[in-house]
Structure 1
Amino acid sequence: MENSKSWVIDPLHSEVLFKIKHLAISTVTGSFRKFDGTIITEKSDFNNAKVSFSIDVKSIDTNQSQRDEHLQNDDFFSSDLYPKINFESTSFTNVSGKNYKMSGNLTMKGVTKNVELDVEYGGSEYSAQGQLKHGFEITGIIDRKQFGVAWNIPIRSGILGLGEDIKLIANIQVSELA
């Protein structure tokens, strides 16, 4: 029987991005600068892996400090009361080749909902220091209103200032936990 392995996210070679529509005509992109996470595998592949991930809400960066401050207040994330966004996987299943589906519980602003994300396995390689690394791209769409992040401003009949769907993109590199 194979032994389980623990993998830790390499924050220097990983990123967590999001995109949201603004005025229904363009997209604003942002990121979270501080996050961490682990993956526990039972086999030589990542099928049935257990993923745990945490994001520091106050590390939000949209390249505009006033917007970042607004996103941290009670209109959006309430970062003083809810400083973390957390994810715990409930399944990680290979669907074909390098493509996986990951389901799990996402907790944001005190609300926990099950979400499904697409995961593309980028492969593995040894670093210059001889450490085995694995790469993943995780994508999905989250309805922010389901998590109590519902602030918006009507522009005109039927048009809102902000989209309700958030596109998530995480490029993650992990290394074996020593």
Structure 2
Amino acid sequence: MAKTKWALDLAHSNIDFSIKHMMFARVNGSFKKFDANIEADPEDLTTATIEFTVDASSIDTRNEDRDNHLRSADFFDVEKYPAITFKATKITRKSPGEYEVTGDLTIRDVTRQETFIVTYEGSGKDPWGNERAGFSARGTISRSEYGLKWNAVLETGGVLVGDDVQISVVIQAIKQA
């Protein structure tokens, strides 16, 4: 398959995260609004163009007070930094269908190189004749390296919010004519 443009199917795509809470539990959340520019041969991502833009204000942890705190200057400061972006700069095949995708991740105007493991899940035609491809990605980033440093010390000596954020992305894309 040749390198072609793909559009996200937002109804079948998601960006999720998980972070330690109180040193012994996890809080999960997602971003509800995002878009991507993908030009790729899904069976060989090594030459792909991959760019994501996430609306930081679309964060959802199923708790309105927590979400509003995450939108504030203590964390994402969405009024000043409304978008989180990722642009792939290097893609290496690790095994058939699995890649290391390294790129520039920007959060709160801080850009750092991050690497995610991306898996090509397969492709096929939907009932309406559209060619679709599925991908998943996973990785871990340090929130403090992006200026998201707010925390509270617990009586036990630990902290309320962990530093490592596990990220999981599931994408279904539709081939464009």
- Structure 1 vs Structure 2 CA RMSD: 1.5
TM-score, length-scaled by structure 1: 0.94
Q: 2:49 maps to which residue?
A: 50
Q: 2:120 maps to which residue?
A: 121
Quick check: 1:22–1:161 contact (8 Å CA) kept in 2? yes
Query: What do residues 103-145 of structure 1 show as CA deviations (whole Å, max 9, x unaligned)?
Result: 0000001100000000111011111111111111100000000
Aligned sequence identity (%): 36
Q: Which moved more, 1:134-143 or 1:35-44?
A: 35-44
Q: 2:100 maps to which residue?
A: 101
Q: Distance in 1 between matches of 2:43 and 2:142?
A: 34
Gaps spanning 5+ residues in structure 2: where?
A: none
Deviation at 1:44, TM superposition (A): 5.7
Are the structure 2 counterparts of residues 146 and 176 from structure 1 closer, same or farther at C-alpha, using a change threshold of 3 Å?
same
* Aligned residue identity for 1:104: G
* Aligned residue identity for 2:16: L
**SS of 1:80 mapped into structure 2:** coil
* Aligned residue identity for 1:121: Y
Q: 2:83 maps to which residue?
A: 84
Are the structure 2 counterparts of residues 145 and 43 from structure 1 closer, same or farther at C-alpha, using a change threshold of 3 Å?
closer
Quick check: 1:51–1:88 contact (8 Å CA) kept in 2? yes
Deviation at 1:162, TM superposition (A): 0.5
Query: What do residues 54-73 of structure 1 show as CA deviations (whole Å, max 9, x unaligned)?
Result: 10011110000000000000
Q: 1:21 maps to which residue?
A: 20
Deviation at 1:47, TM superposition (A): 2.1
Aligned length: 177
Q: 2:165 maps to which residue?
A: 166
**SS of 1:67 mapped into structure 2:** helix
Gaps spanning 5+ residues in structure 1: where?
A: none
Q: Distance in 2 between matches of 1:169 and 1:121?
A: 14
Quick check: 1:142–1:165 contact (8 Å CA) kept in 2? yes
